[in-house]
């Protein structure tokens, strides 16, 4: 890593903690030397019941039927699909941060990429649940996979849902591998610092014999960069295909060529917002102020601001094209956005996604973590609203006016809307206790560049 | 005296042990022998449907049907083409009779009020004493209450009973009667005559409060005649309707006027004056006057081909006035002697009440009637029944009256019994059983014989005796009874029994009564789905959307927008209607085309003892019915009850600016010559390959004539019956879910005050470029070589992408196991399952389903054609065969001789949303109206 440090005033690591030993201790000690602490226990107590009711809700929908959701004859998709798109969007940012920033040599990514990747993995896994539990017959979800069978039946390849099946599957596999291989040097560090036999055994096994040799490093770097290069198109493809689930239809408000790129940017947008929220929590919870500095937040806030502008532009394009295209149905649906049954939700969406993030133009806002957290949460709310309204608006107000009707949110919908946050939190809390949540080897590289010894 | 202390430990264990042993022993199946047919009965092939001609009653009138049975199990009702009240078509009531047969809530045993379950033998013993007493008095004290009796056998039995016991009194009470019309005919002609209007010969028609196309025993006959005439543009004619709230006739009218009942008399007087009646000029409003003058001019211009119809809510004098007008117009109306008339006219319900009050009723027999529910409320029959010393009720259900009498006897369903019935034109037909009584009931004939002391009479013999005597009287000893009997059973009618038009004197001009009292009035109507309430426990009918309001699972008070605003109520408010000291709480629904100062409410709801389906659904309108004015409650007070309730509908939007005209093409008759047929959009460019048929060369298609569709829903229930479509229940409807494969949409291009609406049945479009097919990830939605868009149920995983992508929204999803273990109420019970069509898969939970064009019927015909080595003949879908107006035509587009291909070249032809390039196979003919140019700007 011979590249010169950035020529600007950014300090990616606090000067007084700059040192290989200090960095390693800051990350590894909370896992290996200290107990979970009160904050962690409280967080577990909050997350655990949520996770349990999610599992109960999933059990209920599998045994009683998808009728538990608020879906109806007209609005056949609902909260499950919106949740799916939202979680897969969250899942996008981790890989994007890791790979895109790695390829563009944004060194500041080192402090946040590990938990962003963990976030990806958990979010993509949670997202993967929704398409299954929203099926009428989840038992047969595997029929979307091409497996040899006596009936000689194969998936129907023209369906965007089959593409989606592959997109999620490959994305899950890829993010798992990317995350795990990126962990290898840190697992070796943990193995070396472990104080118990069990710790040495487990971390040792997971470290796959990493010996810190130059040859290891050379192979690792090549592998990691190659994976990163693979990740970028994959990240784009996964959310483009999610966009195609809607765009490859003939319904007004869905059949738009804008959807794939708009979905990718939207995913990046909500993903970054989620990373900001998590970074603030982790920084406070694990006392990682040295490694996650205001400079990081400043950079991420700028990305969010950029994404917000792109999203606003996308919405405007949608409206403009509906008008310019002249298709009666498209115009009707856009009119319905603003005047229909869900108009207040649409107004909230525009406020959260377009208006509020404009505050990030101001340096003082970018520097205030409370404000930043509030904006990031609002962006995530806005992005969920965007996804649910894509489903609701078009389906509630399609071509058949005799069947126009609205969605009735059910208790089950509320549980699977909020419950998975507990599942996610639980997974994250467990990971934070078992594995280094910040990439030690990469931060050490940054610190080398910043003059550590 | 047993010891008062509890049993000892040993004793308790002993009891427990013996109880357990007994219980386990009792679980063993009773030993039964199952023996296969050694010699199979002739004509009974396993799995091959058989059709039997029989007759179903509605308010006592017979409608001939063909009941289809598979392996001895009736599964479907179809029309009987030979019967004049069916003409091969059905209505919702006939279709739903099959579910009524299997209703698990039907009474299964004789019951006694105090001791509960009893037996026929116990009843016979209990009946001996009152029978002996009334016999000793020559019948005095015996009162028989029935509904309308058209059955020659029942009439013969009653006549026999009256001959044997001359002092016995027979009362008739039919909830939906035609008392006003009968009295009107009496006024006009001096004797009771029944009018049979011929809509096929009437070109200018004025309906005042009348709904000939609406539900009722004559719906099929009238609708078929009306639509058949209108197929010929030269005889299209013009239909004027003045009514308080929209009916099916009002929706089909060329000119409709929402008119308060108090102005109905004025309208008829205005028309009569135009024909020289010289009555004092009525005070009609300017608009109504214009309407009346236009209608009168049109009627006058069509002598011999003009007709005026008066509704049941009109007083007898106005019926007489309508007869006078029709006489002047030489209207195509036949007058016949009432087919339900008896030599000695029966008494009515008021007579029974007087006898009950006098305490002279020794024995009261109520035969297949439910007066406690349906009697005019001012008679308070429920309270008065207590005064009968011995009362027995025979009925299909343990209903309200069964709860008020000492004994209740279970009757057999029309599909389980031998009987005979007459249609409204007097045509007699036989009722034959398709199945042995499911629940140990007896037919009315057997019950009446039993009450007369003849215990072992069989319905079959009683009916045969009637006809043996009738035919012997007609043709002497010469006729071969068996041959003729078999012929009648086979055909489903007794030939030559239609009543001959009676020679009637010139109708007299009546003295007109004072109009109805001022104040808010409520028009009460039989329900288009539940009729008078006797069908309230039939789930198909409860979930059948009402033709105009599209309400399901309940009724509501229809008010106009202006009336509701004036009274400060809004849709969904519960109001308390009180008249004559009785009150009803009912939910308000705002509807288009309701006259100011009047509300409309239907009967049949608010049942207390209907069963698991019908109990407590909707509001009971009977408390507003009075003996003097059954169909119009005047001076009704309306106050908000302070709560709200949901009006469940299957269609919420009927009038959308810019959309309605696109989806529902309406043409004026004058412009028909200039109209061009619209294609299915096949001229548009497409990336998809054009549809290619297979070697068979069939291309199934359907054309629906919206001008002929009267919105009666017969097709909806027929589809449900044929295709095992489950009922979802009110909770699911409230969540926006429904299962009907075929819906009848209502579109209105008018205004709330003056609707200009029409009906559009929407089944699956079977698009050649079906949007549902490419989006299914597992290829459960596929196309076949004959152009059918098929749904493979056992391949479906339930992503619902197909329905999301269907622009017509015709697919239906099993959100729960509606037919698969999670049925509504008792619909999962064993008897209900017996109704299911064995040729149609019962769909599981989580599976998408939709209209198949009755693929099972196509397959049956294909197999028959292959077996016989002939080309395939015509295939009729369930909706098509039910349709009284033949609005639905199904056939092979590749066959020139099949009418469907020709209909696609009709100038009124169009496809729904053809701009989407889906190339639908189901297409439409535009609605056609002939508005009067004189009323051009008045679309009301």
* A residues 321..380 contacting B (CB < 8 A): 328, 332
Average pLDDT, chain B: 91
Residue A1 in domain: no
Q: Which residue segment(s) compose the domain that A96 sits in?
A: 15-144+154-449
Among A67, A135, A395, select the one facing B799 at the smallest CB separation: A135
Q: Token pair of A42, please?
A: 């409280």
Parallel, antiparallel or unpaired: strands B637-644 and B888-892: unpaired
Q: Which residue segment(s) compose the domain that B311 sits in?
A: 194-336
* A residues 78..107 contacting B (CB < 8 A): none
Residues B737 and B871 in one domain: yes
Residue B156's pLDDT is what?
94
Parallel, antiparallel or unpaired: strands B306-310 and B204-208: parallel
Distance from CA of B664 to the nearest CA of A (A): 11
Q: Which of B12-21, B39-48, B579-588 is the most confident on average?
A: B579-588
B5 pLDDT band, cuts 50/70/90, is: low
Distance from CA of A378 to the nearest CA of B (A): 29
Among B659, B797, B800, select the one facing A401 at the smallest CB separation: B659
B554 pLDDT band, cuts 50/70/90, is: very high
User: What does the buried/exposed string (b/e) look like for B690-707 if buried means 16 or more CB atoms within 10 Å of the residue's CB?
Assistant: ebeeeeeebbbbbbbbbb
Least confident of A70-84, A371-385, B464-478: B464-478
Which of B735, B741, B780 is the best mutation test for A, with the most CBs of A within 10 A? B735
Least confident of A56-70, A144-158, B654-668: B654-668
* A residues 233..262 contacting B (CB < 8 A): 245, 248-251
Q: How many domains does chain B have?
A: 4
Residues B303 and B440 in one domain: no
B2 pLDDT band, cuts 50/70/90, is: low
State whether ipTM is beyond 0.90. yes
> Is the Cβ–Cβ distance between B713 and A49 less than 8 Å?
no
Which of A390, A401, A409, A412 is the best mutation test for B, with the most CBs of B within 10 A? A401
Count chain A–chain B contacts defined by CB atoms under 8 A.
157
Mean pLDDT along residues A72-88? 94
B92 pLDDT band, cuts 50/70/90, is: very high
A15 pLDDT band, cuts 50/70/90, is: low
Residue A38's pLDDT is what?
86
Residues B381 and B794: their CA atoms lie apart, in Å, by 55
Residue B3's pLDDT is what?
53
DSSP-derived secondary structure for B330-387 = T-SEEEE--TT--SS--B-HHHHHHHHHHT--SEEEEES--HHHHS-GGG-HHHHGGG
Among A140, A156, A398, select the one facing B779 at the smallest CB separation: A156
Q: Which residues contact A327 (CB under 8 A, 6 or more apart)?
A: A252
Residues B572 and B428 in one domain: no
Residues B741 and B886 in one domain: yes
Residue A10 in domain: no
With an 8 Å Cβ cutoff, are A65 and B743 in contact?
no
The residue in chain A having the minimum alpha-carbon distance to the alpha carbon of residue B741 is A73
Distance from CA of B711 to the nearest CA of A (A): 15
Distance from CA of B591 to the nearest CA of A (A): 16
Mean pLDDT along residues B88-108? 94
Residue A3 in domain: no
Residue B29's pLDDT is what?
52
> Is the Cβ–Cβ distance between A272 and A306 less than 8 Å?
no
> Is the Cβ–Cβ distance between B877 and B888 less than 8 Å?
yes
Residue A5 in domain: no
Domain final residue pick, B336, B360, B387: B336
Among A65, A73, A155, select the one facing B846 at the smallest CB separation: A65
Domain at B540, CATH number: 2.40.40.20
> Is the Cβ–Cβ distance between B437 and B76 less than 8 Å?
no
Q: Which residues contact B818 (CB under 8 A, 6 or more apart)?
A: B726, B727, B728, B732, B739, B824, B845
Q: CA A54, A55, A58 angle in degrees (round to 5)?
A: 90
Asked if the model's pLDDT at residue B31 lies above 70, the reply is no
A1 pLDDT band, cuts 50/70/90, is: very low
Set of chain B residues whose Cβ sits within 8 Å of the Cβ of A161: 775, 777, 799, 801
Domain final residue pick, B336, B371, B387: B336
The residue in chain B having the minimum alpha-carbon distance to the alpha carbon of residue A157 is B777
Asked if the model's pLDDT at residue A16 lies above 70, the reply is no
CA nearest to A78, candidates A88, A69, A66, A65: A69
User: CB count, 10 Å around CB of B676?
Assistant: 9
Residues B147 and B61: their CA atoms lie apart, in Å, by 10
Residues B283 and B215 in one domain: yes
Residues B383 and B446 in one domain: yes
Q: Which residue has the higher pLDDT, B40 or A50?
A: A50
Residues B828 and B730 in one domain: yes
Mean pLDDT along residues A348-372? 95
Residue B457's pLDDT is what?
84
Asked if the model's pLDDT at residue B888 lies above 80, the reply is yes
> Is the Cβ–Cβ distance between B438 and B101 less than 8 Å?
yes
Residues B622 and B665 in one domain: no
Residues B764 and B876 in one domain: yes
Three-state SS string over B205-269 comes to EEEECCCCCCCCCCHHHHHHHHHHHHCCHHHCCEEEEEECCCCHHHHHCCEEEECCHHHHHHHHH
Residues B614 and B581 in one domain: yes
Domain at A364, CATH number: 1.20.1630.10
Residues B600 and B247: their CA atoms lie apart, in Å, by 10
Asked if the model's pLDDT at residue A5 lies above 60, the reply is no
Mean pLDDT along residues A425-429? 92
Residues B207 and B162 in one domain: no
CA nearest to B682, candidates B669, B691, B674: B691
Residues B133-174 have pLDDT tens digits of 999 999 999 999 999 999 999 999 999 999 999 999 999 999
Distance from CA of B797 to the nearest CA of A (A): 5
B118 pLDDT band, cuts 50/70/90, is: very high
CA nearest to A266, candidates A317, A316, A310: A310
Residue A2 in domain: no
Residue B839 in domain: yes
With an 8 Å Cβ cutoff, are B809 and A73 in contact?
yes
With an 8 Å Cβ cutoff, are A401 and B663 in contact?
yes
Residues B534 and B480 in one domain: no
Least confident of B645-659, B716-730, B813-827: B645-659
């Amino acid at each position: 890593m011979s590249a010169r440090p950035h020529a600007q005033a950014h300090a990616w690591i606090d000067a007084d903690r700059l040192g290989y030993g200090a960095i390693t201790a800051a990350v590894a000690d909370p896992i290996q030397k200290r107990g979970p602490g009160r904050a962690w226990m409280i967080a577990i107590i909050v997350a655990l019941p949520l996770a349990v009711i999610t599992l109960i809700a999933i059990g209920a929908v599998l045994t009683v039927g998808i009728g538990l959701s608020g879906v109806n004859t007209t609005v056949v998709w609902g909260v499950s699909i919106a949740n799916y798109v939202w979680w897969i969007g969250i899942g996008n940012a981790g890989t994007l941060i890791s790979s895109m920033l790695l390829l563009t040599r944004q060194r500041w990514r080192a402090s946040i990429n590990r938990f962003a990747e963990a976030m990806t993995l958990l979010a993509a896994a949670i997202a993967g649940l929704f398409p299954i539990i929203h099926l009428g017959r989840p038992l047969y979800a595997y029929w979307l996979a091409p497996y040899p069978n006596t009936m000689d039946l194969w998936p129907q390849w023209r369906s965007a849902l089959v593409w989606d099946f592959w997109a999620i599957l490959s994305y899950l596999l890829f993010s798992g591998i990317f995350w795990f291989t990126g962990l290898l040097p840190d697992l070796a560090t943990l193995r070396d610092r472990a104080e118990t036999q069990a710790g040495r055994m487990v971390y040792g096994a997971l470290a796959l014999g990493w010996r810190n040799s130059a040859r290891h490093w050379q192979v690792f770097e090549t592998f990691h960069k190659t994976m990163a290069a693979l990740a970028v198109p994959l990240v784009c493809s996964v959310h483009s295909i999610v966009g195609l689930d809607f765009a490859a239809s003939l319904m007004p408000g869905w059949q738009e060529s804008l959807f794939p790129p708009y979905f990718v940017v939207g995913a990046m947008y909500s993903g970054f917002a989620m990373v900001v929220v998590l970074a603030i929590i982790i920084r406070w919870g694990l006392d990682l102020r040295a490694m996650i500095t205001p400079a990081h937040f400043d950079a991420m806030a700028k990305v969010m601001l950029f994404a917000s502008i792109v999203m606003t532009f996308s919405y405007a394009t949608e409206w403009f094209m509906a008008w310019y295209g002249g298709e009666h149905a498209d115009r009707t649906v856009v009119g319905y956005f603003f005047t229909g049954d869900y108009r207040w939700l649409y107004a909230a969406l525009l406020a959260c996604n377009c208006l509020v993030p404009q505050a990030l133009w101001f340096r003082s806002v970018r520097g205030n973590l409370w404000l930043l957290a509030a904006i990031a949460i609002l962006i995530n709310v806005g992005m969920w609203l965007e996804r649910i309204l894509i489903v609701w608006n078009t389906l509630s107000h399609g071509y058949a006016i005799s069947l126009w009707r609205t969605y009735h949110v059910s208790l089950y919908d509320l549980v699977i809307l909020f419950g998975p946050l507990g599942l996610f939190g639980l997974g994250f809390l467990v990971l934070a206790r078992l594995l280094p949540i910040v990439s030690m080897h990469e931060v050490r590289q940054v610190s080398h560049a910043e003059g550590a010894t | 005296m047993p010891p008062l202390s509890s049993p000892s430990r040993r004793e308790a264990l002993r009891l427990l042990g013996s109880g357990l042993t007994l219980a386990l022993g009792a679980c063993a199946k009773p030993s039964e022998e199952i023996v296969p047919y050694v010699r199979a009965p002739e004509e009974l092939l396993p799995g091959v449907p058989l059709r039997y001609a029989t007759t179903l009653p509605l308010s006592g009138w017979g409608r001939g049907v063909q009941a289809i049975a598979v392996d001895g199990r009736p599964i479907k009702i179809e029309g009987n083409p030979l019967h004049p009240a069916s003409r091969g078509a059905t209505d919702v009531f006939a279709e739903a009779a099959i579910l009524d047969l299997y209703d698990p809530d039907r009474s299964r045993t004789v019951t006694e009020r105090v001791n509960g379950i009893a037996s026929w033998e116990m009843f016979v013993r209990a009946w001996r004493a009152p029978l002996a007493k009334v016999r000793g008095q020559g019948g005095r004290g015996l009162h028989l209450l029935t509904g309308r009796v058209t059955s020659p056998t029942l009439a013969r039995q009653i006549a026999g009973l009256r001959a044997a016991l001359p002092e016995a009194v027979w009362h008739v009470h039919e909830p939906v009667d035609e008392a006003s019309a009968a009295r009107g005919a009496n006024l006009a002609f001096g004797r009771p005559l029944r009018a049979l209007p011929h809509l096929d010969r009437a070109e200018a028609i004025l309906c005042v409060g009348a709904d000939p196309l609406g539900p009722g025993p004559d719906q099929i006959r009238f609708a078929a005649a009306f639509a058949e005439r209108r197929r010929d543009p030269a005889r299209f004619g013009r239909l004027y309707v003045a009514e308080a709230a929209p009916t099916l006739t009002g929706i089909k009218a060329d000119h409709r006027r929402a008119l308060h009942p108090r102005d109905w008399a004025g309208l008829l007087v205005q028309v009569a004056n135009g024909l020289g009646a010289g009555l004092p000029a009525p005070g009609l409003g300017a608009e109504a006057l214009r309407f009346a003058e236009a209608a009168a001019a049109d009627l006058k211009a069509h002598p011999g081909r003009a007709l005026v119809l008066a509704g049941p809510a009109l007083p007898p004098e106005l019926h007489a006035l309508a007869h006078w007008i029709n006489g002047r117009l030489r209207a195509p109306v036949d007058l016949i002697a009432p087919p339900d008339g008896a030599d000695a006219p029966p008494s009515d319900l008021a007579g029974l009440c007087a006898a009950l009050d006098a305490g002279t009723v020794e024995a009261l027999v109520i035969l297949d009637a439910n007066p406690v529910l349906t009697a005019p409320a001012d008679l308070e029959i429920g309270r008065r029944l207590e005064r009968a010393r011995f009362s027995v009720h025979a009925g299909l259900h343990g209903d309200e009256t069964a709860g008020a009498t000492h004994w209740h006897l279970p009757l057999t369903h029309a599909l389980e019994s031998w009987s005979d019935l007459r249609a409204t034109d007097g045509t007699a037909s036989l009722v034959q059983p398709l199945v042995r009584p499911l629940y140990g009931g007896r037919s009315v004939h057997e019950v009446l014989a039993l009450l007369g002391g003849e215990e072992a009479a069989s319905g079959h013999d009683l009916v045969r005796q009637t006809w043996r005597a009738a035919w012997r009287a007609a043709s002497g000893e010469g006729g071969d009874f068996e041959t003729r009997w078999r012929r009648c059973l086979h055909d489903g009618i007794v030939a030559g029994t239609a009543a001959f038009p009676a020679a009637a004197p010139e109708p007299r001009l009546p003295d007109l009564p004072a109009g109805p009292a001022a104040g808010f009035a409520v028009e009460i109507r039989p329900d288009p789905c539940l009729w008078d309430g006797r069908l309230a426990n039939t789930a198909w009918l409860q979930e059948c959307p009402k033709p105009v309001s599209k309400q399901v699972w309940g009724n509501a008070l229809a008010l106009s927008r202006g009336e509701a605003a004036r009274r400060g109520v809004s849709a969904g408010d519960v109001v308390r209607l009180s008249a004559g000291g009785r009150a009803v709480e009912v939910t308000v629904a705002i509807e288009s085309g309701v006259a100011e100062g009047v509300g409309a409410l239907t009967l049949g709801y608010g049942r207390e003892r209907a069963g698991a389906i019908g109990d407590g659904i909707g509001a009971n309108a009977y408390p507003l019915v009075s003996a003097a004015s059954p169909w119009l409650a005047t001076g009704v007070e309306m106050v908000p009850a302070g709560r709200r309730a949901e009006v469940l509908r299957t269609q919420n939007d009927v009038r959308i600016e810019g959309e309605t005209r696109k989806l529902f093409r309406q043409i004026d008759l004058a412009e028909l010559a200039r109209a061009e047929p619209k294609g299915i959009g096949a001229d548009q460019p497409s990336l998809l390959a054009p549809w290619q048929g297979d070697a068979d060369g069939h291309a199934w298609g359907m054309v629906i004539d919206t001008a002929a569709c009267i919105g009666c829903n017969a097709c909806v229930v027929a589809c449900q019956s044929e295709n095992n479509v489950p009922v979802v229940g009110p909770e699911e409807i409230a969540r926006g879910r429904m299962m009907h494969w075929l819906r009848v949409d209502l579109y209105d291009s008018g205004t709330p005050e003056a609707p200009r609406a029409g009906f559009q049945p929407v089944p699956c479009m079977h698009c050649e470029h079906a949007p549902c097919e490419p989006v299914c990830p597992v290829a459960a939605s596929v196309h076949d070589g004959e152009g059918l868009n098929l749904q493979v149920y056992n391949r479906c995983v339930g992503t619902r992408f197909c329905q999301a992508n269907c622009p017509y929204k015709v697919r239906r999803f099993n959100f729960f196991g509606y037919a698969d273990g999670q049925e509504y109420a008792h619909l999962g019970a064993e008897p209900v399952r017996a109704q299911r069509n064995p040729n149609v898969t019962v769909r599981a939970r989580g599976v998408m389903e939709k209209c198949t064009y009755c693929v099972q019927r196509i397959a049956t015909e294909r197999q028959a054609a292959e077996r016989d080595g002939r080309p395939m003949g015509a295939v009729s879908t369930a909706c098509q065969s039910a349709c009284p107006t033949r609005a639905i035509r199904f056939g092979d587009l590749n066959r020139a001789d099949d009418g469907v291909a020709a209909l696609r070249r009709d100038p009124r032809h169009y496809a729904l949303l053809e701009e989407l390039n889906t190339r639908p196979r189901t297409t439409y003919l535009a609605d056609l109206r002939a508005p009067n140019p004189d009323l051009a700007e008045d679309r009301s």
